[in-house]
Amino acid sequence: MPRILVLVCLFCCCLVARAAECIVPSKPGGGFDLTCKLARRALPGGDTMRLSYMPGGIGAVAFSSIVSQRRAEPDTLVAFSSGSLLNMALGKFGRGSHADVRWVAAVGADYGMIAVRTDSPYRNLRELLAALAKKPEAIAIGAGGTYGSQDWIKMELLAKQADVDPKSLRFVAFEGGGEAFTALLAGHVQAVSGDASEAALHAASGEIRVLAVLSDARLPGPLASVPTAHEQGYDITWPIIRGFYMGPSVSDADYARWVAAFDRAMAQPSFDALRAKAGLYPFAMTGPLLTDYIARTVRNYRHQASELGLLR
């Protein structure tokens, strides 16, 4: 019996690696890309995992593809973030619902942040918001997604606390964080509302200055010296979870295999270092627990969006 169990475990590990695909629902360089690359590094045989880029609607195009055309693919994962869940709550996934897919694993947490170029005149969050109050049209803010996305909402919440009319802000929409930072470095926008994991990739080069992280406490790692918005007098936090889902018609056995694979991978001592390398912070949840968490989160986002007047 022990020999049989060992063979079964080995078989499951091989299945994880067989022709596996991770769909990145954006162009290369953003948080979705980091999430799939983390899976490729952490899962058994993950070095054979193929990454496919499917930008559009902060996950909406990939979601539509999975639920309409690729419902039962047993080895296809799709990266998601809290931004995906917010857009779902806002109805930006069409008739799509969180109940239309199978939620596999959340592998880490991220946080919102506000950044400028290193040569920017704004040294902290208060200076940026003061400049926006004086002449909002002079500062283009790069944000992932269209109106109502999490990057827009983060900046609008900060603006309201600084007595700046959110409607006066000049946003430039991008498909994801990678594009927004590219635009920042090229001088096409003067600030970016995005995610800490994406900012950490650029902070090491010395080309950007992160003005604030939207977390309860300062973050470890490359952004350890960056103050929180709380420290600068603004009452806002914005946590973001990152993970994976599968098609709705994937068999129970294949779904359970992937859940078990992530459970095993995240239990390894080496996973903490891999997660940190991806710019993520501890958060691990899989299977039914994650599914319940997703349902609650989407309901909460819908309630918040209604209070902000974002739902029609």
What digits encode the pLDDT tens for the residues 124-168? 999 999 999 999 999 999 998 777 788 988 999 999 999 999 889
CA distance 61 to 93: 8
Task: Say whether both 164 and 53 belong to one domain.
Answer: no
Residue that wins the pLDDT comparison between 78 and 2: 78
Using DSSP bridges, classify how beta strands 50-53 and 21-24 pair: parallel, antiparallel or unpaired: parallel
pLDDT of residue 18: 62
Residue 26: name the closest of 61, 50, 1, 2 by CA.
61
Mean pLDDT (whole number) for 265-286: 93
Helix (H, G, I), strand (E, B) or coil at 149: coil
pLDDT at 5 over 90: no
Task: Say whether both 246 and 104 belong to one domain.
Answer: yes
Per-residue pLDDT tens over the stretch 41-68: 999 988 899 999 999 877 899 999 999 9
Q: How many domains does the chain have?
A: 2
Q: Which of 172, 203, 232 is the last residue of a domain?
A: 232
pLDDT at 15 over 60: no
Task: Say whether both 219 and 126 belong to one domain.
Answer: yes
- Helices (runs of H) and strands (runs of E) counted in the chain: 11, 10
In a domain, 312, yes or no: no
Task: Say whether both 37 and 84 belong to one domain.
Answer: yes
Per-residue pLDDT tens over the stretch 154-212: 999 999 999 999 889 999 998 777 889 999 999 999 999 998 988 988 888 889 999 99
- List the CATH number of the domain containing 216: 3.40.190.10
